[in-house]
Amino acid sequence: MKRIFIFLGLTFLFTWSLAFLLISKGGLSNPFAQYIFISFMLIPAISVILTRLITKEGFRNLRLNPHLKQKGSKMIYLTAWFLPSVLTIIGAILFFILFPSRFDAQMGTMAELIAKQSAKQMPIPLFVVFLLQAGSGILLAPILNFIPCLGEELGWRGYLLPKLCEKVTPPTAALITGIIWGVWHAPMIAMGHNYGLKYRFFPYAGILGMIIFCIFVGAIFSYLSLRVNSAIPAVLAHGSMNGFAAISIWFTKGTSNPFIGPVPVGIIGGIGFLVTGAICFLLLRNLKCLNKSDEIVPVSLGSSVSKE
């Protein structure tokens, strides 16, 4: 547990210190906010490295080996690459079915926004721009977001999760990791990230919403990661989700309510993630962690995966 506490202490100290400094300098209105938010994502990986140095644990099994030759790994990686986009689409479709008046096939709000940003007429049709954006989100986002998402997942699913699996069952480890991951976002939520600033019980409702979201999404990432004993599937899934999460805003008329949808952090927009996360909690029961080992294997295989 000592290594877990050191890792968490460093991660929260660095992240929250930088976050509160950003808040004092204007929060999201700060011109460097976007770059500072990206730096937040790198802190868990930095904390893993420092923890391994401080505790003299060394760097054996950083969970960077993709284990592509392991049975079933190809399906895991395909799932990691495409499932977040599919779940995002499912949530958006359900939202617009329930709230048809919010659907804008002409993408008027986005056209207005782009026109203001470019200050001139778009050289290509808006729908073509959307297709390029959507295609990039589905096909390229896992790669384009690989480095920042590796920064997070090397800590959450690459270090914290397997360390917890040595103490508790995989479902419990995934649950604890998801809660910690959600709490870690608290100062970012307080700045208005994901949920904005104007809602009842600000920022506590937003923080709670993010914790719930991280619990279920974290279960998906945890299952993908533990299934092949690598953090890489979680990195790809995380990158896919981040790159495609806002795509439904293109078709939303007016201002959306992030607690409802159509974005995935809403209860309806995120229904696909909630249901799939619940299923993954059940699937995690069929995995076991070998005590005092870095190996986590499906019970049904009856043999361990190869070490790095």
pLDDT (tens digit, 9 = 90+) per residue, 34-81?
A: 999 999 999 999 999 999 999 999 998 899 999 999 999 999 999 999
Tell me the whole-structure pTM to 2 decimals.
Answer: 0.91
Residue 255 phi, psi (nearest 5)? -85, 130
User: Would you list the domain boundaries of the chain?
Assistant: 2-301
Residue length of the chain: 308
Q: Which has more confidence, 296 or 62?
A: 62
CA 95, 101, 103, 108 dihedral sign is: negative
pLDDT (tens digit, 9 = 90+) per residue, 234-245?
A: 999 999 999 999
Other CB atoms closer than 10 Å to residue 300's CB: what's the count? 7
Q: How many angstroms separate the CA atoms of 260 and 262, rounded?
A: 7
Q: How many angstroms separate the CA atoms of 110 and 131, rounded?
A: 13
| Whether the Cβ atoms of residue 192 and residue 28 lie closer than 8 Å to each other | yes
Longest dimension (CA), the chain: 63
CA angle 164, 171, 295 (to 5 degrees): 55
| Whether the Cβ atoms of residue 293 and residue 307 lie closer than 8 Å to each other | no
- pLDDT at residue 297 greater than cutoff 60: no
Quick one: three-class SS letters along 207-226? HHHHHHHHHHHHHHHHHHHH
Per-residue pLDDT band at 287 (split at 50, 70, 90): confident
Residue with tokens 């096909």: 139
Residues 6+ apart with CB under 8 A from 21: none
Q: Given this model, what pLDDT does residue 303 score?
A: 37
pLDDT (tens digit, 9 = 90+) per residue, 175-197?
A: 999 999 999 999 999 999 999 99
Q: Given this model, what pLDDT does residue 295 score?
A: 46
**Amino acid of residue 113:** L
Per-residue pLDDT band at 300 (split at 50, 70, 90): very low
- pLDDT at residue 292 greater than cutoff 60: no
| Whether the Cβ atoms of residue 306 and residue 295 lie closer than 8 Å to each other | no
pLDDT (tens digit, 9 = 90+) per residue, 84-134?
A: 999 999 999 999 999 999 999 988 878 777 776 665 555 677 888 888 889
pLDDT (tens digit, 9 = 90+) per residue, 135-168?
A: 988 999 999 999 999 999 999 999 999 999 999 9
Q: Given this model, what pLDDT does residue 34 score?
A: 93
Per-chain mean pLDDT for the chain: 90
